Each structure stands twice: as C-alpha cells, then as structure tokens.
Amino acid sequence: EVQLVESGGGLVQPGGSLRLSCAASGFSFSSYTINWVRQAPGKGLECVAVISGSGGTTYYADSVKGRFTISRDNSKNTLYLQMNSLRDEDTAVYYCAKDSWGFGSSGCFDPWGQGTLVTVSS
Amino acid sequence: QSALTQPASVSGSPGQSITISCTGTSSDVGNYNLVSWYQQHPGKAPKLMIYEVTKRPSGISNRFSGSKSGNTASLTISGLQADDEADYYCCSYAGSRCVVFGGGTKLTVL
C-alpha cells in the first residue's frame, strides 16, 4: 500500500523554526516528485514546495520563498520541509502528496498524507 | 500566481447532477490538459477524483466526470448521493512551478 505519513507539526512562536517530515512507503520513492501542500484553517489548498524525485529540482510558492526549504533523503524514503522565520499566516495543516511525475509537478497528487498541524502563535 | 476561480457553493438533491466550474487562464488551465479535481471531507485529506481533465483513478465512480473548454474546466457529478457532500478543489499544472489550486467549492446535497 502506498502511504505517506507526516510528522513534526506543533506550536511555534512567530519568527521560530520547525522541520516537518514525511515518511513514504509502498512505492519507489526516488522515482517521484513529492509536494508539500498546506491548508489554513477554513481555507483552501496552497502548494508551498515541490521536489523532483532525484532532489535536484525544487519549486516554492512566492509566499514561502527564502524561508522554507524542501529536501529529501531517498535512502530513508523521507521528505522534509524546513520552515524558518515563521509567521502567523503560516498556520495551517501541512500535507505531503505524491505526484504522478518524477520531475516537475503535474497536479495529479495521489495519495496524500493525513497532514500535520503547524500553529504559529505567541 | 492567482488561484483558479470556483463557485463558493453548489447544491443538488439526491439523484440529480451538478457541475462545478474552474476558471483559469491561458497560462494554466487553457494551455495544458493537466487539470485535476479533489474531494475533501471535513477533517480528512484531499482525495484525487479526476486527473488529466477527464481520467478517473482506479476505484472512483463513473458518476464523476471531467471536461474542459478553453480556460474553464468542469467537474460533473451525476446521481448525487449523500456522501458526495464535501469540498471540491480543482488544480492545474502551470509550468515549471508549484501547481495552482482553485479556491474550493462546497457541495451540499439537499
């Protein structure tokens, strides 16, 4: 069974840092692009970062560029999102989602993890 | 990159059909046959319902169908059932960057 499991969410103060992880199983991890998508409370979906299967290509939303870093360890089948200089507006559930492509982001995401909640508040 | 435009809400009675529109631009929806649709029930992760405009993943009912004309994609649900009540999001490839999502549509089954 293809599965993604996020961890690392929690409460952090504005300006703080947090690292999210996404553990993958059931597929050839290094062959697929993985995306981080977030959803603020009561709001819609927003793609925040993308990384190709090899890890050599990354994309970021303008809202997080320069503050967030996406990376992956293909030997551990794990994806990461390092979040620095966190702001109130970064409060959201963060999902990792497997793409159907190995390079670039097709928009065809299946499956998604269960999500991890990040709350930025003083 | 602006979000794709979806109606905030639609509704229908059991057994009826509804259509949700998703309007983008020539830089996303209009330029690629790479539109996906997701269903999200409260407190759950999104679920892929349609990809590449018209294709259904394995296990998705044929009551769900997708189409596209110009810069607007559409999701049609026929034979509405109570469990179809959820939020629906469209998503489009937009080149070498993060994909763009619609703002979401709340479907109410009356």
Rg (CA), chain B: 13
By DSSP bridging, strand A3-7 and strand A18-25 are: antiparallel
pLDDT band at B95 (very low <50, low <70, confident <90, very high): confident
Residue in the block written with tokens 């892929």: B48
DSSP 8-state code for residue B52: T
Average pLDDT over all residues of chain B: 96
Residues of chain B with Cβ-Cβ distance to A115 below 8 Å are 45
B17 pLDDT above the threshold of 90: yes
Centroid of chain to Cα B15: 19
Tell me the chain B residues in contact with residue A61 when contact means C-beta distances shorter than 8 Å: 98
Mutate which: B99, B100, B105, B106, vs A, most A CBs within 10 A: B99
Type of residue found at A111: P
Would you say residue B2 has pLDDT above 80? no
- Judged by CB atoms closer than 8 Å, whether chains meet at A107 and B35 is answered as yes
Chain B residue with CA closest to A106: the answer is B93
For residue B101, report the phi and psi dihedrals to the nearest 5 degrees: -105, 155
CB neighbour class for A20 (10 Å; exposed up to 12, middle 13-18, buried from 19) = buried
Task: Tell me the mean pLDDT in the region B29-50.
Answer: 97
List, for residues B53-91, the tens digit of each pLDDT value.
999 999 999 999 999 999 999 999 999 999 999 999 999
Which residues 25-54 in chain A show a CB within 8 A of chain B? 35, 37, 44-50
pLDDT of B5 strictly over 90:
yes
Nearest CB among B34, B36, B45 relative to A114 is that of: B45
Residue A107 has what pLDDT? 85
DSSP lists the bridge partners of residue B30 as none
- pLDDT bin (cut points 50, 70, 90) of residue B1 is low
pLDDT in 10s for each residue of chain A, 122 residues = 999 999 999 999 999 999 999 999 999 999 999 999 999 999 999 999 999 999 999 999 999 999 999 999 999 999 999 999 999 999 999 999 999 888 888 888 999 999 999 999 99
Does A44 sit within 8 Å of B46, measured CB to CB? no
Question: Rounded CA gap, A33 and A107, in Å?
Answer: 11
Q: What was the pLDDT predicted at A51?
A: 95
Cα of first residue to Cα of last residue in chain A, in angstroms, is 40
Name beta bridge partners: B19. Answer: B76
What's the pLDDT at A18? 98
* DSSP class per residue in A4-29: EEEE--EEE-TT--EEEEEEEESS-G
Nearest to A34 by CA among A66, A69, A70: A70
A30 contacts: CB under 8 Å, gap ≥ 6? A53, A54, A74
